Amino acid sequence: MRTVVSGFLSSVLAVLLSGCGATSDVRIATPIQNVTSFAFRDERPADNRTSRVDAGVAGSSIFYGDDNLSPPAPELMKAWLYKAMDSELAGKAVTLRQFTVSVFDPGATVDRKQLDVAQNTARTSVPKGGGMQGALGAALAEPIAYGIESARMQKSIWVRIEGDLDQQPFYVIHSEHVRGRVTERNVRNTIIRGLDKLVASLKSDGKAPVTARIP
């Protein structure tokens, strides 16, 4: 019986971990550039530099600030520009005004009638004398149901970069979508593609806005 209960709890843990939340930290392997041919200024507002969670009726948004990005947003953008177009930017000034990375989770909902049926089934389906296991199964029915529904929900990852190149504005908005838990790799790849789109925009004419989306 202990083996059965242990296996059941392991399955529950796997479902809950796979279905909820998003990664907390994002690391991108790129060297920091202290010296570049262009001037770089970070003029983002304070609320664009720190991580936070905004919860609402439609769902919750997780915002990744400099404390959750390695390297931080300004160093990451400067390194990307240096690697891709240092010579083209020689003598120019780049100003970063917004670097937003967010994950939107619409949240999971569970049918209360179906949940009640599942809890009653858990209580009555155990062998005689297995009241503890039945109570445990009933107690875990709700978090399991939410974990399963969350795994089915589509989450959106957004990257928005705004700034000026020699006082000419530019911006990029890039989004991707995943189901289940949003991993570090999901967020990292979205950031990288957003930065690549920014480079393509600046190389084209220095200010043309680019909006990219992968369904």
What CA dihedral angle connects 3, 7, 9 and 15, to 10 degrees? 180
Instruction: Provide the 10 A C-beta neighbour count for residue 202.
Output: 24
Instruction: Provide the 10 A C-beta neighbour count for residue 175.
Output: 19
pLDDT of residue 204: 84
Domain ranges of the chain: 22-107+153-213, 112-150
Predicted TM-score (pTM) of the model is 0.69
Helix axes 184-204, 73-85, angle to 10 degrees: 50
Q: Which residue has the tokens 């569970």?
A: 110
pLDDT of residue 154: 87
What's 159's DSSP letter?
Answer: E
Angle at the Cα of 126 from the Cα atoms of 120 and 130, rounded to 5 degrees? 115
pLDDT of residue 74: 96
* Alpha-carbon torsion (46, 52, 56, 61), positive or negative: positive
CATH number of this structure's domain 22-107+153-213, picked from the four choices 3.40.50, 1.10.3210, 3.30.420, 3.30.160:
3.30.160
Q: Are 172 and 199 in contact (CB under 8 A)?
A: no
pLDDT tens digits for the chain (215 residues)?
444 444 444 444 344 334 445 667 899 999 999 999 999 999 999 999 999 999 877 788 999 999 999 999 999 999 999 999 999 999 999 999 999 999 998 875 554 555 455 446 545 555 554 455 544 444 544 454 445 555 567 899 999 999 999 999 999 999 999 988 899 999 999 999 999 999 999 998 654 444 444 43
pLDDT of residue 58: 76
pLDDT of residue 21: 57
